Amino acid sequence: MSMRRILATAGMIVALATSATAAQFKNIASPQAKALLDRGTVFLLDVRTPEEFRQAHLKGAVLIPIDQIEKRLDEVPKNRPVLVYCAVGSRSNAVAGFLVEKGFRDVYNMKDGIVGWYRNNLPVTH
C-alpha cells in the first residue's frame, strides 16, 4: 500500500470518526449481530481492505472498504437494516456514524468486529 493511500485512508477515518460522534446507531456484539443476521433482511457491510476480506469474511458480506464508502454509498440500501463490521470495530464505528448522517435509519456497528465473531466460534468464510 502506498504512503499516499495510507494517508488518504487515515484522513477518511479521522473525518468519519469526527462525524460519527453526533450520529446515532446501535453498537452490538457479535452474538447479537448473528441473531440479527439470522432474520435474513440485513445488509451486511464489510469495510475492511480487500486483502482482509480475502483472508476471511462473513457469509453474504458486501465489501466496500472505508476509503471507498463515500463514492459507493449508493450501493448500500436505505430500506433495510445495515450491519457494519471491520476487524475490531473501529472502522465500522466510523462508517456506521457516517451512514446515519447520510440518512440511514437502521444502522448497527458490530463493536467487536470479525475478531470477536471468530472468538465466539461463529462461522467465517475463507
Which residues participate in catalysis according to the annotation?
A: 86
Q: 96 with 88: CB under 8 angstroms?
A: no
- Distance (Å, rounded) from C-alpha 78 to C-alpha 68? 18
- Residue 104's alpha-carbon distances to 4, 23, 54, 82, in angstroms, are 30, 10, 28, 8
